[in-house]
Amino acid sequence: MIKKREFYIDGQWVSPVQANDFDVIDPSTEEIAAVISLGSQSDTDAAVAAAKGAFPAWSALPLAERVKVIKKFLEIYNARAQEMADAITTEMGAPLDWALEEQVGAGTWHTEGFLEALEKFEFERRYTDTEMHVLDPIGVVGLITPWNWPMNQICLKVIPALAVGCTMVLKPSEIAPLSGVLFAEMLHEAGVPAGVFNLVNGDGPGVGTQLSTHPDVAMISFTGSTRAGIEISKAAADTLKRVSLELGGKGANIVFADADENAVTRGAMHCFNNSGQSCNAPTRMLVERSRYDQAVEDAVKTAETRGVGSAHEHGTHIGPVVSELQFNKIQDLIQNGIDEGARLAAGGTGRPAGLNRGYFVRPTVFADVTNDMTIAQTEIFGPVLSIIPFDTEEEAIEIANDSPYGLTHYVQSQDNAKRMRVARRLHAGMIQTNGQGLAKGAPFGGVKASGNGREGGHYGLEDFCEVKVITAYAD
């Protein structure tokens, strides 16, 4: 059993002020894989004080020196990729190959994206002959990250904050903290100065709230549930700190009759990837009526051939969902779909055959869903696909936008004019079409209940800056 009962504060590993142990469960086995400590107010205060003390020197350091540290980190991160993958497999159930290629790979990809963006990023922007706009680091930032894509989200926050000159306190998810601890080791090895980066493990009501209300924290960057994002916003209001939120989603994938032949299979696979635990998963598939019956067949085939197994095995299968709480929530929502009259076309409640232990969910497809059903409006965060028929382009747009969320929507059509026309009318932060993924450095984020921040590339760098205007500027 791994024991991680220390926090990284002011450049060293320190014991928490109070012993408050928390068990990290391996979702493939339901066994305790590690024990960590949850931080107290004293631990949070110490970490914020260290970050505050380190801010003047770090923010004044030339950009080239900060970039050098980030590049050294990336070198270490890539060299220790297998360690990181093993940690993610253990803590949140990503299968070995997926953990290495996708989960760990996401951290590399985003870090490279920030380094590329920094080559053209302007911290000083001449506006007129007599006016300069300057981007300053905002100060001490609190970073609160989720369990479903640990390195994706940690790198999307820590790397740009470091780059622009902020200092920080990271609270990774207490459910999946091992990758965050390993990340801290890598930053230390890369030579990040004491106090610039600090890590305190804790839960939302504890360390999360303490960071959100702390008067010396200038900004909170949070990724997680919409419910938690609302609570953080309320907690941060009294200190008027900036709050950047990347929250949930209920992506609509509009499949027109003229979509390519792999569109449905591709969309279903995307929904099931990472065991459905992605905020941008296309969980509502809207299919034009003339293609609807075939689409249901294709989705069912994808679900029934999508292997499910232990995260500790190699292969292209999906692993368990992260916890018993998540497993039970998904089971209840699948049953809710059945009770509300959706047609269960594949999967259903209970574990897959042959798996009697571990938080494994059957890849599930519901057909004949209406958009007012709970499974069409609630973010399930599991491998559950809802298929909804439509007759007209206007109806498809209306159904897609009829959601509290607005993170990622998808459009599949070989009619380019129609594809772009529909994409422009969808209300979301990201619209992906015909299977094309986002480019490196693209702004990741949403609208409505999906949040208000944009992460990645130069947008992610700007997120950690304040804009200052200087008039009568002289070179």
Angle between helices 63-79 and 81-92 (to 10 degrees): 70
Q: Which residues contact 403 (CB under 8 A, 6 or more apart)?
A: 250, 252, 284, 371, 377, 448
Encoded amino acid at 392, one letter? T
Catalytic residue among 155, 166, 271, 279: 279
| Residue tagged active-site, from 174, 246, 379, 455 | 246
Do 215 and 41 contact (CB within 8 A), yes or no? no
Torsion 278-279-280-283 (CA) sign: positive
Identify the H or E element spanning 339. Answer: helix 324-339
Active site residue 465: no
Q: Which runs of consecutive H residues, i.e. helices, occur in 340-438? A: 374-377, 393-401, 416-425
Q: For 209, which DSSP code? A: H
Q: Who's near 137: CB < 8 A, 6+ residues apart?
A: 55, 59, 161, 164, 165, 166, 464, 465, 466
How many other CB atoms sit within 10 Å of the CB of residue 74? 20
Long-range Cβ pairs for the range 387-390 (8 Å, 24+): 387/285, 387/287, 387/292, 387/295, 387/296, 387/299, 387/345, 388/284, 388/285, 388/286, 388/287, 389/286, 389/287, 389/288, 389/289, 389/292, 390/254, 390/286, 390/287, 390/288, 390/289
Question: In a 3-state reduction of DSSP, which class is residue 248?
Answer: coil
Tokens of 454: 């944009």
Phi, psi (rounded to 5 degrees) for 144: -120, 115
Sequence-ordered list of residues with C-beta below 8 angstroms from that of 34, at least 6 positions apart, any chain: 1, 2, 3, 4, 23, 24, 90, 91, 177, 178
> Do the Cβ atoms of 145 and 175 come closer than 8 Å?
no
Q: In this structure, what is the dihedral angle of CA atoms 309, 313, 317, 319, given to the nearest 10 degrees? A: 50
User: Helices 150-164 and 178-190: crossing angle, nearest 10°?
Assistant: 30
**Is residue 166 among the annotated active site residues?**
no
Tokens of 113: 């994206």
CA 309 to the chain's CA centroid: 23
Alpha-carbon distances, residue 129 vs 14, 135, 170, 469, 474 (angstroms) = 51, 18, 41, 13, 9
What's the DSSP call for residue 95? -
| 3-state percent helix, strand, coil for the chain, nearest multiple of 5 | 40, 20, 35
Q: Annotated catalytic sites, by residue? A: 246, 279
